[in-house]
Amino acid sequence: MSQGISVIIPHLNQHAALERLLNSLNAQVHSGAYVEIIVVDNGSVTPLPKDRSAMPNVRLLQEATPGPGPARNRGAAVANGAILAFIDADCIADAGWIRAISTHFQKPDAAAVIGGDVRIAPRGARLDSIEAYESIFGYRFELYIRRDRYAGTGNLAIRREVFDTVGPFGGIHIAEDRDWGQRASRAGFLPAYVPEMIIYTEARQTFSELARKWDRHIAHDFADVKGGKRRLLWLLRSLALAASPIAEIPRVLNSPRIRGSRARLLACGVLFRIRIHRSRRMLQLFFGGRPEEMAMSWQKK
């Protein structure tokens, strides 16, 4: 097995975005350093073109089982690198992304699981409301790593032997990044935050897309709610969530990730709206809603 890096990308119907990502990665592949790029298509309507002559280090695979977790597992199964790096097809790797990963793992005391920063790539000259909100609240990877002990799979790198020890990512019915990361933490592989490991992604385009993302997370969280005490805590959390935006206003006003009063007002508007949506959906499950239907709402167009 090579001591290099295998970059693994799950893909589903994101052809233009994937090409953009591959260009950002290919620009970082330096001679003398082993870097392979593995794209695992997960059932796209239009197949990916097989001719990758312009990017000979890119391998194309297929995974029939739906979900980004199985696609990542397929890529990991054939990867040759000692380091497995995961990024999503709709992201752009910063010019120093591979270098940041390589530099970290060259340290003698390097953590075996790392995650980095995720930033919003604006679609236009000015941020829209969803972009403003997600620039602050959308991808809080440092918080997930330090508080929740997992790194999101959109910007994750691990030693191969850790993946083999912890086991594969879960399927489509669970939050596979949190599940895998917390299994790794319980096995003693605590994640570290590497701020130089930067990727960019577009914000969701509509509030409905943002709401569906949270519906899936809420349904997954509710699956662990069993017994009277946990149900009571769930109810209290859902009620507190509706009032929580007030406490977040200073974060919006002082965040260095957006600029100008217009963007901050837009971010506040979406913040209040999405927190109320989340509270309502949590209450819906508490009073008898079906988490299975809510978990699959991300598939709706």
Cα–Cα distance measured from residue 219 to residue 262, given in angstroms and rounded to the nearest whole number? 33
Cα–Cα distance measured from residue 15 to residue 7, given in angstroms and rounded to the nearest whole number? 17
Q: Percent of the chain, pLDDT > 90?
A: 75
Q: What is the pLDDT of residue 301?
A: 40
The stretch 269-291 carries a mean pLDDT of: 91
Could you tell me if 134 and 87 are in contact, meaning their C-beta atoms sit under 8 angstroms apart? no
- Return mean pLDDT, the chain: 90
Angstrom distances, CA of residue 79 to CA of 36, 38, 82, 90, 265 = 8, 8, 8, 21, 46
Q: Which residue type, as a one-letter code, is found at position 71?
A: A
Angstrom distances, CA of residue 7 to CA of 86, 138, 228 = 6, 23, 44
* pLDDT band at residue 172 under the 50/70/90 scheme: confident
The stretch 208-234 carries a mean pLDDT of: 86
Dihedral Cα 39, 43, 47, 50, nearest 10 deg: 30
Cα–Cα distance measured from residue 258 to residue 120, given in angstroms and rounded to the nearest whole number? 10
CA-nearest of 214, 202, 203, 201 to 273 is: 214
* pLDDT band at residue 295 under the 50/70/90 scheme: low
8-12, 52-56, 87-91, 204-208, range with the lowest pLDDT = 52-56
> What beta strand segments (E) does the chain contain?
5-11, 35-41, 58-62, 83-87, 91-93, 113-120, 155-159, 191-201
What are the start-end ranges of the H helices in 141-260?
Answer: 141-143, 160-166, 176-186, 207-222, 228-243, 245-254
The stretch 237-245 carries a mean pLDDT of: 95
Q: What is the pLDDT of residue 283?
A: 94
* pLDDT band at residue 293 under the 50/70/90 scheme: low
The stretch 255-267 carries a mean pLDDT of: 95
Q: What is the CA radius of gyration of the chain?
A: 20
Q: Which residue type, as a one-letter code, is found at position 213?
A: K
Could you tell me if 134 and 211 are in contact, meaning their C-beta atoms sit under 8 angstroms apart? no
Residue with tokens 């019915």: 173
The stretch 60-72 carries a mean pLDDT of: 93
Cα–Cα distance measured from residue 265 to residue 150, given in angstroms and rounded to the nearest whole number? 31
Q: What is the pLDDT of residue 300?
A: 45
Residue with tokens 């949190």: 178
The stretch 182-196 carries a mean pLDDT of: 96
Structure tokens at 204: 């969701």
Domains of the chain, CATH where assigned: 5-201 (3.90.550.10), 207-299 (no CATH)
Q: What is the pLDDT of residue 175?
A: 81
Q: Which residues contact 221 (CB under 8 A, 6 or more apart)?
A: none
What are the start-end ranges of the H helices in 120-175?
Answer: 129-137, 141-143, 160-166
Q: What is the pLDDT of residue 181?
A: 95
Cα–Cα distance measured from residue 158 to residue 201, given in angstroms and rounded to the nearest whole number? 21
CA-nearest of 171, 135, 144 to 257 is: 135
Q: What is the pLDDT of residue 290?
A: 73
